[in-house]
Amino acid sequence: MDIHPNPLPGSALIDLKRLSDDRGFFARAFCVDEFAEAGLDPAIAQCNISYNHKAGTLRGFHYQLEPNAEVKVIRCFRGAIYDVIVDLRPESPTYLQHFGAELTEDNYRAMYIPKNFGHAYLTLTDGAATMYQVSTPYTPGAERGLRWDDPALAVEWPHEVTTISDKDASWPLLTPGSGATAGIGTELSVEAP
């Protein structure tokens, strides 16, 4: 694997090192030792698959509060998505900044998302499917979210959002100028939609 740090400290893009021959290629998609050597948390408690019927489907922004904060490694294995992460660590110099990248069935790239980051993606193709490796089991009472269209985040999505769940469409907006303390161990400072 080639692990490339992103502009948001602690996050990374992971490219495969392909060993190719006339049959195709072989590549390691995950390795506890390589993750640990790169300073990434290698814990995996769950693997989840998400399938999306149509291009323009948005999922997120999701995160879980401490002590259930989760590391995620997401890879698109069918179609293409635009994957976005948001730094929700109040002490971080990149607090509330975001980073996005295309993950596709052709580039085999994965996004490593550290604890205390929000995560969302927009499907770029019909039939896009992703696999998540997650460090902590899903805990409904710890789940929180941010609005995909929050002006405080100013994410430029590559095309129109046409399908979104009621829950994801109704996450609260960040309060402008609040400095939104806490965020992870407790609630982010938000205003009602």
Q: Kindly name the residue from 63, 112, 121, 132 that is annotated as catalytic.
A: 132
Assess whether 4 carries a catalytic annotation: no
Burial call 115-140: b when 16+ CB within 10 Å, e when fewer? bbbbbbbbbbbeebbbbbbbbbeeee
Is 132 labeled as catalytic in the residue annotation? yes
Domain ranges of the chain: 43-174
pLDDT tens-digit map of 165-180: 999 999 999 875 444 4
122-164 tens-digit pLDDT: 999 999 999 999 999 999 899 999 999 999 999 999 999 999 9
Q: Which of 62, 63, 82, 98 is catalytic?
A: 62
Task: Indicate the pTM of the whole model.
Answer: 0.89
The CATH superfamily label for domain 43-174 reads Jelly Rolls (2.60.120.10)
